Amino acid sequence: EYYFEKLEAYVSMFICVIMRAVKQDKLAVKLDLIVIYQLMINYNAFLEILQVVGTEEEKCYFAMVEEMKENPSERIINVLTPFVNSEYKNYLDVNSGEEIIRLSDSRVNNEIVLFMLDVSSYARETDRFCKLIIDDINATFSSLSKLNQVKPTLVFFDEFGSYASMSIVTALATHR
């Protein structure tokens, strides 16, 4: 649990720096998982961005991380590499210029979104992708409820038990 909290803090601070760079036009991309992954791989590029837009606290934090024997980004890269190189990359790359699925738009426009996922060929990647989809559904419902755009919605999960966790079940249950 302690290691997870450290890892979560690292990811949060990493993303905050990148988001600030995008907002200040120091990084000319739309932020997505692929960009985060690429910056974790090219850590020196991230450090350059950090020097330009990072707060003193963030600079000290990442300097401390560099002195550690095991940089958390290595663990994250190891987990994300097969996922980012799988067929599911196309769904996450907002900078590719191709159409991507925006659940909030689909929800507002009463569209049906169907994901047909190849569990037999990409078991681990499908599990991760399903969790991302569920997180996105949760975020979409939360943001729409804040805008008072609540309306009945049906969401079906085939073989939900194969990728569900109690935190996902709890989050979805709050959006009855």
Q: What is the pLDDT of residue 141?
A: 75
110: alpha, beta or left? (left if phi > 0; alpha if psi -120 to 50): left
Whole-angstrom CA distances from 2 to 6, 8, 43, 92, 165 are 6, 10, 24, 30, 20
- Residue partners of 111: CB distance under 8 A and separation at least 6: 105
Name the phi and psi angles at 17, rounded to 5: -65, -45
- Tell me the mean pLDDT in the region 123-150: 74
Cβ-Cβ contacts under 8 Å for 151 (sequence gap 6 or more): none
| CA 15/CA 36 separation, integer angstroms | 7
- Give the model confidence (pLDDT) of 77-107 as tens digits: 877 777 777 766 666 666 666 666 777 777 7
pLDDT for 175 equals: 53
Total-model pTM: 0.59
| Spatial distance between the Cα atoms of 32 and 75, rounded to a whole number of angstroms | 19
Nearest Cα neighbor of 63 from 78, 43, 81, 79 is 43
